[in-house]
Copies of this chain bind each other. A is one copy, B any other.
Amino acid sequence: MSTSVRIIGTGLIGTSLGIALSSAGFAVTLEDPSPTAVRLARDLRAGSLATETDADPDIVVVGAPPDVTAQVVVDALSRWPHAVVTDVASVKESVLRDVLASGVDATRYVGSHPMAGRERSGAAAARGDLFDGRAWVVVPHPDTTEESVRRVRELALAVGAAVRVMPAHEHDEAVAAVSHVPQLAASIVASCLRELPESAVGLAGQGLRDVTRIAASDPRLWTQILAGNAAAVRDVLRHVRDQVDDVVTALDGIVERDGAGSLGTLSHVLEAGNLGHARIPGKHGAAPAAYVVVSVVVPDEPGALARLLGDIGSAGINLEDLHLEHGLGQAVGVAEVSVVPASVEPLRTELARLGWRVHD
């Protein structure tokens, strides 16, 4: 008999999970305080609507907003005395603390954080492949049973995620640095653009776009996430503030022309950025240098890119990643083709032979 899963909260994560689990053969039932949201999730094949007569689920996944997650988890543990309960909130220690403080039997509770998301929110933005190849952090606590961890791990693997197990405080400290402070930095940099003259924002390049992309994220959700991880975010943010202070002081020194050591401070901050950046694993969890980008000039006409990719496919070379850069109204674009290092030379040779203009 297939594992039965109740998903409570059919937002982006809950609905995406429902789609992925349903297509993996799990029996998914859905509930959400919003009848519209839950029906949309059902129509997207995330599962069937929950009814009063449903049998008890094996696993409950709470996809509620962070500030009500603990309460919904506690309720679920009481409603279904044999079910394993997990949640997908982006913060884990505050949820765990509130669950334990409730006095409920928490041996069947194990936290989760699938490291997947989009700038868009809600069921409409859901994708069944949202978890494919993403990390899924499983967060047991000292009283969690082995069986509960096994159940949640199984569920994460079923949707293609890579499971990492760590305690709540370790998770929260990690995401403060790799997710929550970057969100704040993007928002703050973007907020500096509000009052700029039109001619100034017109100079925006790809660097600014990348740095601020996640500044488009949902403020309500992120207020709760930051508040739920306040201590860890504050600690990282103090480091950020100290460095910003150092740079402001260095720039003051340069402006006042008495800045001994000012250039050294600037250089140090930029070099530290190089070192930190080099630690980020590649998109696929591999080392950053695992793929090589080859740039190919592509005429801006229907079918040209298809011809290029046909030529790459015919050469038996697998694309690892592809990005097309278009010039503004120009006659050519540049396709940035990522391949494994061993494929670079065969790719260059073959494309050049077929008349493509190839750059490193």
Contacts and interface: CB of A to CB of B under 8 A. Distances in A.
- List the number of copies, as a whole number: 2
A327 B285 CA distance: 10
Contacts of A55: none
A100 interface: no
Interface string A156-173: 000010101010001001
B243 A248 contact: no
B237 A187 contact: no
A10 interface: no
B321 A276 contact: no
B199 A328 contact: no
Contact of A129 (B189, B306, B332): B332
| Chain A interface helix/strand/loop/mixed | helix
B328 A132 contact: yes
Contacts of A182: 189, 207-208, 211-212
A340 interface: no
A50 interface: no
Nearest to A171: B203
Contacts of A328: 132-134, 162, 284-285
Contacts of A196: 174, 177-178, 279
Most chain-B CB neighbours within 10 Å: which of A164, A194, A316?
Answer: A194
A334 interface: yes
A266 interface: yes
A211 B240 contact: no
B226 A251 contact: yes
B269 A129 contact: no
A68 interface: no
Contacts of A294: none
A320 B360 CA distance: 23
Nearest to A249: B234
A24 interface: no
28 contacts: A117-B205, A133-B327, A133-B329, A166-B199, A178-B196, A178-B201, A181-B189, A183-B207, A184-B269, A185-B211, A187-B272, A188-B273, A189-B240, A189-B273, A191-B272, A196-B279, A212-B280, A219-B273, A219-B274, A220-B267, A222-B270, A226-B247, A230-B251, A234-B252, A302-B316, A306-B313, A322-B323, A322-B324
Given A134-B205, A210-B210, A305-B309, 10 more contacts: A117-B205, A179-B205, A182-B189, A183-B207, A192-B236, A192-B240, A212-B273, A226-B247, A231-B255, A237-B251
